[in-house]
Every structure is written in structure tokens, then in C-alpha cells.
Amino acid sequence: MSTLTCTKLTLLTLAAVVIQIIGLSLFVLGFFPVKPALSGVSGPESFTSPVCPSAEDHNFTIQSPDELKSLYLELSNISPSYDRLILMVVDGLPAEFVLGRDDRPAPEIFRKSMPYTQSLLDRGVATGYHAKAAPPTVTMPRLKAMVSGSVGGFLDVALNFNTQELLDDNLIGQFFKIGWKMVMLGDETWLKLFPRSFTRHDGVHSFFVKDTVQVDHNVSRHLDAELLMIDWKLLILHYLGLDHVGHTGGRNSVLMGPKLEEMDEVIKKIHRSMVQNKHGRTLLMLVSDHGMTENGNHGGASYEEADALMLLIGLRDYDRRPSTHKTVNQVDITPTLALLFGVPIPINSAGILIADTLKSLEAAQQLRALELNTWQLFRLLQAQLPDLSCSSSCGVDKDGPGNDIGECDGNTEEIFCCLYIKAADLHKAWKSCQVLGSNKVEDYRSTVLAYNDFLRTASEWLSRRATNKPVGLLAFGLTGMILSSLILLSLLYQLEQDVCMIKEDRTSHFSSRMHKWHMDEIFVMAIVCFLVLSMGSSSLIEEEQYIWHFMTSTLYFLLLRKAVQSISSVNTQDQGNFMERQIKRRFIQMSSIIFVLISGRILRGWHQGGVNWTNFPDISKWLESEGTAYIKPVQLVSLLLLTTSGFYALSFLRPSKRFVIVVGLSFLFPAILVLQYIINYQSSGVPASSNNATLLVQIIYATLGTTTFGIVVAVPWFMPVRNPKGCSSHHYNVLHVGIADSLYLIGLVYIICWGLLQLLLQQPINSAPILLLLVQILASMCSSSNSDPEPKQWVEVAVVYYLGMAGHFALGNTNTIATIDVAGAYMGVSSHSTVLSGILMFMITYAAPMLALLSMLINLSRRSKISLVNAQDVDLHFLLKTTLAYPCLVPLGLNSIFLVAYTTILLLMRNHLFVWSVFSPKYMYVCATTACIYIGVLIVASTVFYTYSTLGLRKMWIR
């Protein structure tokens, strides 16, 4: 039977990790495409051609809003058709309710509910469009698409996690720049997106889905007053009620009819006031952000969900052909509104102008509008296709139109270039004809057609590019992750076989090779299955803290049961002294398990966590409401107990007393510094940012760093090599005891220093959980070292790993990005540095898993002692394989399973309603956990290698 050698094991593990990293990065790149977008906002330069830099060099200085407005007017040559805009958003209204589907009219019941709107449509006063929405069909991304015209990705949501403000160029910003006064009534999402833009606003929550009446009443109550006001230029009304009706009762809810009637009343009121018209020409645009399924849900890409409405009421020159309803894209709203109201088209808009809306303008102005839209899209294309320049067409005056009209083909750049040149040439020719006064309708038509050709091709290409997921990349990434997971798991399996074999050789068991599985071992595996299954449910992801706590506690109950089982084996061997020792061991084992259970429950109760029940009472809320007078003592006691328990654990290292005292004293110093910081600076609950505080924190970082590093480097060299009784002359064993002691000491130093660092970094309220976690891990180690028969090492490692994950949530972390502690990330950072803050943020968030990983060294030390006792002649390779392999492979293997499972789930859920709000943030956390495990395992492995090689050197010298 082939056994794994140490080298082979290491190489294979490394290979698996590398494959995993590659696979993960490929997947992330594929799933969250970073779209190359233009930065900045469109300004006056957008009225110049992107291809041929114009001769006159416009030097635009910063101007007042009014100047800017007139400048835009002058540059664009398009006279604005309207003075004011009313944007009425009816959340979740499917276009089918108003316009019908395909050629069928809207269902009778809905037609009857909206008599006024239908009459407007019939008379041709209103023009209706199906405005196709792109997934995710959820309010906020849809609003962004409507005002900025861009098709968003996830990363731009995730990467600015503190602000939901829309920073991209958008219509509201453009209007704001030309000095428009704007009013917003309705969904407060608008206020999150544009916190400073509105002169007056009244935001309503979309939180209580059951409320279908009050949300809309709160919008309409201001309507009469606002319609009489003359100061605003843009009035946004966002009605949420219809979406709520859908969520509670579906499309055919009994409340749907009355709700539509209510909306119809609003439209009637607005239209009447528009007709009376005292404040200039007003355009009413009725849009919905998305549709809904039969059950009233939305988020996906089905026709029902994507079928949003756009209704233009009050167009000046409407034709009287009702009921042919065109389909446009939702992003087309952006350039249309921009051109209608005389502002530059937002820079990243992928939409195309809806030509019908400009019918009232002269032909020249209509062509100019098309030209401006073309230029804007061309610039955007240039950002994505750097080779697109078309500069060859500049300066060369073509003889006239039609000389090179033909099919455009070639690569993407050539096609776009060809289409662009064709349209530009036709336009130029048309203009020169206009000067001569010999305009032909055909020429105009062909120019419009050529422009539309370009616009349509460009827009389609852009939006396909933004939403398309490169299947090959995703599949390749996933395959890589699966492959690495398989490698890790098969390594674990092989290792387990080897270890079993060795054990049998040694103890010469005549029992069958078939190992009897214990409950705890089965359950460790079952936890993996339960977690993987639970990942499929969005609410279980939101409330993951429950699952980890539930699973870990159950596992400890099973361990308790196993401990009770093993008492019986003691009873049968009636040997006074031996039995007494056994009973004592059982007692220690059981009491430490019970301690882990109790502290686990306290940790669970410390932060309620999650998303849905965050407002439930918990210990941290109670402490915070009592004020700092309660928190500070808790903090001080935690620090004291943490240091004490560190000393206590050190005292187990009996034979080298003096050495231990030196080590203990060396981290007493940072502990005192942390104490000083807590007393002096954390009184107000928020970390102080004075220079002294920053300096002190920096000193603490330096001391903790040097102490840890110094001890880790020095311990293997100076660890007294004690002589165990009986085999004093045996160099091997003597040194191996040295190894075990050094690892124990280093492991303890690691976790105590990590704990001290966390006491400093974490919010004051989290100091007690840090202490509890640390003691919990120590108690867990204690229970497994006192159990008979010796538990399998992979079970021990897995148990500690689970404790770490449960602790991660006990520190108040959730799977939403909102709970990342940003305040702590600036502690001791004197100048703004994204990298440093990022590292600190990572350390704060992954305090618990890292603590668990670092504590593996203590487990390792005990294991090497055990294999010493059992072994007759052990070499370092064997020792490394039997001790180090599990603490590295088990976390990597477990994490690889979660990674693969979650990646698959994310792929399956890519059209789910919550893909952006729940599944994608969770994926970020999964990735970060993976990174955390790499780092932890790396630290553990390198420490062990260092210790072994140092003691190996010492062995050579002793010889």
C-alpha cells in the first residue's frame, strides 16, 4: 500500500492551494466583471466630436449654474421642449397592466381601473412604451439604471460599502449642476442615492411590505401643494403601494384594482394641473422600475418581471396613432430625458434616444440629438475598445454620401467605425445640402437610419457586455476549485488510512480493519452537509449565526455523551489508583465540555446578529444601554482574566520554570500598555483620535509584534531540553519533548498576543466575547486531552475550526457588509492608508477563526507528545506528517468544500431576487474566510517547520 511521504504531501497540498487560488480568482473575475467605465461626469466637451478633435479649443472654466445652462443650450443647438419634468415612479407596475401584451390590449379589469390613463392613451396624448428592465429587477439598481443609463455590476455596490450614494454621472447630478430645484416624494431609496440633491423631500420606508395604503398616502399628501409651487423643475413621485400589493397578494390581488384607481387619480390630478399650465411646459413621465411575476415577486429576468412601463404624457407633438406600443430599454430613458431637457448625456449611459419624443423639433435639431447620442456612445465604446479611433476619417472630405455604403463587417472595432463614419458622412452631406437649400426627405431618412444603426448596435453590444457572464471563465474557475477540493479531500483520506495503519501496527490490534465510526465523527461530517444545504436558503444565510451555534453545541453534546460512555470502561477496570486518576480525567473532561457549552450560549446571546431579528434584546444592547460605567469594568476584567488564563496555561509547562517566567513577563508589558489605553482613551465608547492615543496604539502594535516575533524565534533555541524519566540518554526523545514544549509555548504566545491585540482593536463591547472565545478554545483542548480513548486528530481540529466559525458570528459579524467594523480599522493609523486600514479591518473581522487556527499549535504539541510515547524510533518526517498534516489539511479541506458548494449555489442563484443583497455579500465573506485560512495555516506550518529545523540543528550539535 502506498503511503504518503512528507514531501509529497506538502507538494500536493501546495498544488491544491494554488489551483484553488487560480480557480477562485477566475470565478470572481467572471462573475463580478469590473466593467471599464469612464470616470467623471459629462460636461461641455460632450458636445464635441470624439473622433475629430475640433479646431477651436474650448476652454471652459467653472461657471455658475445659469451660465452652464445657457452654454449647454448654445452648444447643443437644441431648444428644450419642456421646462419642467414630473417623474412618477410606480414601483412594480407591469407594462402589461396598461399597454397589454404583444397585440392584445390590457386585461379588462385593469383597463377599467385606470379610465383616465386609458383615455389619454386612446386620444394619443400619452405615448406608452414597454421599457425592458435588466436583471436584477430590484428597485435600487433599476433607479440607478434609469438615471445614469448604465448597466451596473455587483462590485460597484460591494466596494463602496459605506455609502449607497450614486457617484456615477447621472441625470439628477446633471440637473443639479444647471441649478434645477428638485423635489422628491416617496421611496427613500432616492434619498440614499442622492442625499444632497433635493430641495424638499419626504421619504417613506419600503420596509413594511404589508402596508399598502399609508405608503402612498404619505406621497400624495404633499401633491396638491407641490403642484401649486413654481420653484421646482423636477418633481419625483415614487409610489411603493403597488409593489406591496403585489408582494402580499400577487398580480390578481383584490387590492390591485383599487390601487390602480388610486394611481389613475394621481395621474388625472397631475395632468389637469399640467393642462391649466401656469408654470411653463411640463412633461409627465410615468415609469415603473420593474414588473412582477404572477405571485408578485421580482428580481429575476423573466418577461413578467422585466416588463416595466414608460408612459410619456404631454408630449407636444403627438401623433394620433394609438396602441402600437414599442419596446425600448429602460436605460433609454436617460439619453432621452437628457436631450429633452438640454443637459449632457451621462457619461456611462448605454441607452439610445427614443426618437419619437423629439418629433416636435426641426429636422436639423433631431439629427443633432442623434449625433450627440452617437458621440456619447462612441466615447463609451472607446473606453472598452481602446483601439477604436476612426481618426482616418478626419479631414478627408468625401465626395458625397453613398460612395462607400455597403455592409459593414470585420472585427468589432471596424464595424463600429464603419457604422459611425457612414452616419457622420450622411449627416455632413445633409447639412451641406441644407445650406444650399436642397434638402431631400430621403437623405434625412437615410441619415436617421444610419444613426439608429450605429446606436442600436453600440447599445446592444454594451449592455450584452455588462450583463453577460463569460461561461468559459466561470466553468474553468469552478472546475479548478472542485479539483483542488478533491485533491485536499483525497489527501485527507489517504492520511487517515496511513494513520490507522500505523496505529494498528503499533498496538497490534487484532480487531478488524473496519473502523467503527463514532457519533461525533459522523456528526462532524454531517455538519458539513447541513451547512452546505443551508446555504441554498437566503434566510439561513442571513441568519447563519444560529446554524453555527446550533451545530457546535450539538457537537459538544455528542462529545459529552461520548465522555459518559467512556466512564463505563473505567468501571470495569477496578484498580484503585488508576481508577481514581481516570475519574479525575473524566471529571475534567466533562466539566470543560460543559464550560464550552455554557460560554457558547453566552456568546450566542451577546450579539443577536443576523438581519431579520437584529432588534431583539441581547447582552451587548443591554450593556450599551447601561453606559460605559458597565462596559469598562467588563473590559478591564476581560483583560485581567485573559492575562491570568495565559499565565495559568503557561504554568502547565512545568520543567522549565525560569524560562516560562521570562516569557510570561515579556507579554505582561503589552498587556499593561493595553490596559493603559483602555483606561485613558476608551472612556467615551468611541476610539479617540488624538495624537497621544495614536502613538500609544502604535507602541502597542510594535511591542506586541516584537514580543511575539522575538519569542517565536528564540524559544526553539533556548528551550531547555529536559530529560524524561527512563530514557535519559535517548537524544531523539529528548529533543522531541523539546519540540512539544516549544510548540505549546509558541502556540500560547500566539493566542494570547492575538487576544490582547483584539482587546485593543475590537469595540469595547466585544472584549468579553474575545476572552470567552479564548478560554473556550483552551477548554476544548483540555477536554480532548483528557478523553479516553484518544479522539481522532481530525475531529479535534474540526471541532476547534467550528468553534472559531461560531465565534466569528458571536463577535457580531453577519453576512452583510454593513457589520464590518470600520471604526477600529483606523486605530493607530496616523495617515490615511487603504492597505493598512484594510489589514486592520480583516484582523478585526476574522479575529475568531484566526484565533482558532493559531491555537492549532497547542493541539499539535500534544499530538507530538503522544506520538512520542507510542513510537519507538521516530524520525522528523514521520512526526511532521502525523502532527502537522491534520491541522493544515482539515481547515483547508473543510473550507474547500464550503467554497465549492457556495460557488455552485451562487451560480444557480444568479437570477435570484436576493443575489445582490444576500448571496453576493456572502460570497465576499466566503472568499475572505478562504484568505484567512490560508494565512492561518501558513503561520502554523511555518512555525512548525522553523521549530523542527531549529531543534534538528540542536540535535546535530549535541551529537
Partner 1 sequence: MEKAEKKLKLSTNSNSTLLPISSLYTFILHTICGLGLALAYWVAHNVYSVSLVNDPTQTLRLIWVIEAPIVILLFSGFRQHPNQCSYIKAVGRGLLGLPAGAIVNALGAIALGAPVGIQHFSKTANWSILMSVFTIVPTASVFGSSWIEWRRIFAHAKPNGPIDLLICLPAHGAVIGAWFGAWPMPLDWERPWQEWPICVSFGAMAGYMVGIVASFSISLFQKHLKKE
Among 4, 22, 502, 597, binds partner 1 (CB under 8 A): 597
Asked if residues 843 and 936 have their Cβ atoms less than 8 Å apart, the reply is no
Among 128, 610, 807, 921, binds partner 1 (CB under 8 A): 610
- Minimum Å gap between C-beta 390 and partner 1 is 54
Contact between 605 and partner 1 (CB under 8 A)?
A: yes
Residue (89 or 547) nearer to partner 1, CB: 547
- CA 492 to chain CA centroid, Å, is 31
The residue range among 148-156, 347-355, 535-543, 582-590 that interacts with partner 1, by the rule CB under 8 A, is 535-543
Among 25, 160, 565, 830, binds partner 1 (CB under 8 A): 565
- Minimum Å gap between C-beta 531 and partner 1 is 12
The residue range among 477-485, 510-518, 599-607, 939-947 that interacts with partner 1, by the rule CB under 8 A, is 599-607
Among 537, 676, 728, 830, binds partner 1 (CB under 8 A): 537
Residue (660 or 848) nearer to partner 1, CB: 848
- CA 48 to chain CA centroid, Å, is 39
Among 61, 568, 729, 831, binds partner 1 (CB under 8 A): 568
Q: Which long-range contacts (CB under 8 A, 24 or more apart) does 622-629 make?
A: 623/765, 624/765, 628/683, 628/684, 628/685, 628/764
Contact between 550 and partner 1 (CB under 8 A)?
A: yes
Contact between 909 and partner 1 (CB under 8 A)?
A: no
Report the candidate in 157, 152, 165 with the shortest Cα–Cα distance to residue 194: 165
Among 143, 185, 547, 848, binds partner 1 (CB under 8 A): 547
Among 549, 607, 736, 865, binds partner 1 (CB under 8 A): 549
**Is 346 in a helix, a strand, or coil?**
coil
Asked if residues 1 and 501 have their Cβ atoms less than 8 Å apart, the reply is yes
The residue range among 489-497, 508-516, 549-557, 825-833 that interacts with partner 1, by the rule CB under 8 A, is 549-557
Among 94, 480, 600, 824, binds partner 1 (CB under 8 A): 600
Contact between 630 and partner 1 (CB under 8 A)?
A: no
Among 34, 471, 598, 695, binds partner 1 (CB under 8 A): 598
**Is 203 in a helix, a strand, or coil?**
strand
The amino acid that residue 162 corresponds to is N
Strand partners, 326: 129
Among 132, 177, 604, 922, binds partner 1 (CB under 8 A): 604
What is the rounded CA–CA span in Å between residue 127 and residue 121? 6
State the number of CA atoms in the 13 A half-sphere of 628 facing the CB. Answer: 11
Report the candidate in 122, 565, 135, 468 with the shortest Cα–Cα distance to residue 320: 122
* Phi and psi based region of residue 361 (left: phi greater than 0; alpha: psi -120 to 50; beta: remaining): beta
Among 221, 601, 657, 730, binds partner 1 (CB under 8 A): 601
- Minimum Å gap between C-beta 381 and partner 1 is 43
Residue (403 or 568) nearer to partner 1, CB: 568
Asked if residues 954 and 735 have their Cβ atoms less than 8 Å apart, the reply is yes
- Minimum Å gap between C-beta 565 and partner 1 is 5
Residue (546 or 946) nearer to partner 1, CB: 546
What is the rounded CA–CA span in Å between residue 787 and residue 585? 7
Pair type for strands 307-313 and 282-287? antiparallel
What is the rounded CA–CA span in Å between residue 171 and residue 6? 63
- Minimum Å gap between C-beta 858 and partner 1 is 25
The residue with cell 451560480 is 907
Contact between 247 and partner 1 (CB under 8 A)?
A: no
What single-letter DSSP state applies at residue 294? Answer: T
What is the rounded CA–CA span in Å between residue 443 and residue 430? 6
Asked if residues 389 and 44 have their Cβ atoms less than 8 Å apart, the reply is no
The residue range among 64-72, 129-137, 443-451, 597-605 that interacts with partner 1, by the rule CB under 8 A, is 597-605
* Size, binding site for partner 1 by CB under 8 A: 26
Contact between 522 and partner 1 (CB under 8 A)?
A: no
Buried b (16+ CB within 10 A) or exposed e, 790-801: ebbbbbbbbbbb
Residue (123 or 205) nearer to partner 1, CB: 205
Contact between 567 and partner 1 (CB under 8 A)?
A: yes
Pair type for strands 326-329 and 126-132? parallel
Pair type for strands 307-313 and 126-132? antiparallel
- Minimum Å gap between C-beta 547 and partner 1 is 7
**Is 317 in a helix, a strand, or coil?**
coil
Among 54, 612, 706, 949, binds partner 1 (CB under 8 A): 612
- Minimum Å gap between C-beta 768 and partner 1 is 17
The residue with cell 401656469 is 278
Among 412, 554, 591, 870, binds partner 1 (CB under 8 A): 554
Residue ranges that bind partner 1, judged by CB under 8 A: 537, 539-540, 542-543, 546-547, 549-550, 553-554, 557, 561, 564-565, 567-568, 597-598, 600-601, 604-605, 610, 612, 617
